[in-house]
Amino acid sequence: MIKRMILSAALLTAVNLSHADTVKVYAAASLTNAMNDIVKIYEKQKPKTDVVAIYGASSALAKQVEAGAKSDVFFSADLDWMNYLIQKQIVNANQAKPILYNQLVLISPKNLNIPFKADSNFNFAKAFHGHLCTGQMESVPAGKYAKQSLIKLNWLDSLKGRIVGTDDVRSALAFVERGECEAGIVYKTDALISQKVKIIGTFPENSHHPIVYPIALTKQGEQNTEAVQFKKFVETNPQAKAVFKKYGFSIGR
């Protein structure tokens, strides 16, 4: 009996250690390339740590975490979905820290020449013929920012029936890359990674809420030493900051 108890304790310890060496990160789709690079750097320095990154719209990820998906770190593309998890008591308010900023741009396939002026007097709806792609405007952060800008510039009503809302910002980018949408509203960082699209213009910062990326440990993550260390690495390590800058993000102001 004693031997069995000792064996069980040893197995339990092994399971706990295994869990502690794994960090599950739920990150906005627009962070995919940067976070993949950062994870590689981190795992090279800590070969016993396995960082598992799940990417998608911040809205979808927050709902997954709320539904009970095991998560240690939540990295959102807006403050709203971080605040959502704080209200659900999944993230402690003192954990959330804005560390990155982005810009909202209009893109098109490289072969098109669509005029653009960020002016309410400019007839944007007549500047192109097809559809405009962006994230779903009621939930996906990129789509929410896009809607704010279109309202501010008084363009939204004239585009009714022509806006395609996608599951996340990378899907909107893909639609424009394939030519299925003549124009798209995405983040500057998304446009910069593509060889198939060009930036037509940048939406004024005062036309939408600041594009802020907060990161936080979940309550589960606070109990994971490796998660604590990984979050700190993402926030403060010069190599991580260099990666974010490489992909066009602005570091915390």
Reported as a single tens digit per residue, the pLDDT across 26-70 is: 999 999 999 999 999 999 999 999 999 999 999 999 999 999 999
Mean pLDDT of all residues in the chain? 92
CATH dotted code for 2-101+212-251? 3.40.190.10
Q: What is the DSSP string of 56-123?
A: E-HHHHHHHHHTT---SEEE-SSHHHHHHHHHTTSS-GGG-EEEEE--EEEEEETT-------STTS-
Q: Which CATH class is domain 104-207?
A: alpha beta
Orientation angle between helical segments 238-246 and 32-45, nearest 10 degrees: 150
Q: What is the DSSP string of 170-200?
A: HHHHHHHHTTSSSEEEEEHHHHHT-SSEEEE
b/e string for 183-198 if b means 16 or more Cβ within 10 A? bbbbbbbbbeebeebb
Orientation angle between helical segments 238-246 and 225-236, nearest 10 degrees: 60
C-alpha separations of 8 from 1, 14, 18, 227 in Å: 10, 10, 15, 26
For the chain, how far is it from start to end, CA to CA, in angstroms? 60
Give the C-alpha separation, 13 to 201, whole Å.
Answer: 55
pLDDT digits (tens, 9 = 90+) for 87-138: 999 999 999 999 999 999 999 999 999 999 999 999 999 999 999 999 999 9
Domain ranges of the chain: 2-101+212-251, 104-207
Q: What pTM was estimated for this model as a whole?
A: 0.89
